[in-house]
Amino acid sequence: MSLTTLGLSATMADYVRTNTLRESEALRALRERTAELENANWSMSPEQGQFMALTAQIAGVKSYLELGCFTGYGALSVASALPSDGRVITCERSEEYAAIAREYWTRAGFADRIEVRMEDALRVLDKLLDEHGEGVMDMVFIDADKKPYPDYYQRAVRLVRPGGLIAVDNAFRGGGVADPADTSKATQAIRDVTITIRDDDRVDMVLVPIADGIILARKR
Ligand code: DHB
Ligand code: MG
């Protein structure tokens, strides 16, 4: 028992992975392929993938929008957990990363449930709002570029239905959010969106201190 959150030591992180990870062969292969890339740390950990997947299941998600696909680990984690009529839309501007994602989604047999839009995340949000209106998505995962996080959030909260979820990645920014010396615009945007969500009476929210910090918000 603890009155605060324990930092996860390497020993405990190893315990969690060894004793609780359920990762398909396809996801493991994709993780190993992604580890070869220079920006491998942009991918989510397998534990976070498992967390996102279970969160989507708990919320009864059938339509999931991800901002920031990278090599598709998060999209495949969630797509694998949705019912057979569930759909994932994700966005990515790099053809190199999207090609890896498609290859592994196909291998896993989930390519027909995931659509990748090769466009800026903000444009994808605006188009979905234009085409389908408000309250149509079950869950939006905000990742991608950090500076537009406040803009992503304002659109996401309109796009999800009442009872739907918004998850925000990198809420800790590797500890930068609590470091006064970190004055980067990206970190400031994450601080700003955190306070915005806390003070937004359209949602209930919590910051889950796993991985790099994940804000979960549920639209009222
Ligand atoms: C970075 C971005 C991410 O979205 C992430 O999950 C980890 C790291 C980055 O910009 O370094
Ligand atoms: Mg991220």
Pocket test residue of 145, 170, 190 for ligand 1, highest count of atoms within 8 A of CB = 170
Q: Is it the case that residue 5 has pLDDT exceeding 80?
A: no
pLDDT digits (tens, 9 = 90+) for 78-117: 999 999 999 999 999 999 999 999 999 999 999 999 999 9
Helix (H, G, I), strand (E, B) or coil at 217: strand
The two three-digit tokens of residue 33, written as one number = 């392929």
Q: Contact, 180 vs 166, CB < 8 A? A: no
Sign of CA dihedral 27, 208, 59, 202: negative
Q: Is it the case that residue 172 has pLDDT exceeding 80?
A: yes
When pLDDT is averaged across residues 162-169 and rounded to a whole number, the result is 98
Query: Computed over its alpha carbons, how large is the radius of gyration of the chain?
Result: 17
pLDDT digits (tens, 9 = 90+) for 116-145: 999 999 999 999 999 999 999 999 999 999
CA distance 26 to 115: 18
When pLDDT is averaged across residues 10-26 and rounded to a whole number, the result is 96
pLDDT recorded at residue 4: 77
The two three-digit tokens of residue 140, written as one number = 């939006």
pLDDT recorded at residue 129: 98
pLDDT recorded at residue 2: 73
Global pTM value:
0.97
Atom 9 of ligand 1 has which residue's CA nearest to it?
Answer: 42
Which residue(s) pair with 175 in the sheet? none
Q: Is it the case that residue 200 has pLDDT exceeding 80?
A: yes
When pLDDT is averaged across residues 146-151 and rounded to a whole number, the result is 98
Arithmetic mean of pLDDT over the chain: 97
Q: Is it the case that residue 182 has pLDDT exceeding 90?
A: yes
Residue 7: pLDDT band (50, 70, 90) is: confident
Residue 2, C-beta contacts closer than 8 angstroms, at least 6 positions apart: none
The H or E element that residue 9 is part of is none
CA distance 140 to 167: 6
Which residue(s) pair with 142 in the sheet? 67, 168
Cα–Cα nearest to 17, from 212, 216, 209, 210: 210
CA distance 155 to 92: 18
Q: Give the ligand 1 atom nearest the CA of 143.
A: 4
Q: Contact, 97 vs 110, CB < 8 A? A: no
Q: Is it the case that residue 199 has pLDDT exceeding 70?
A: yes
Atom 3 of ligand 1 has which residue's CA nearest to it?
Answer: 42
The two three-digit tokens of residue 40, written as one number = 């491998």
pLDDT recorded at residue 1: 61
Q: Give the ligand 1 atom nearest the CA of 170.
A: 6
Atom 1 of ligand 1 has which residue's CA nearest to it?
Answer: 42
First to last CA, the chain: 31
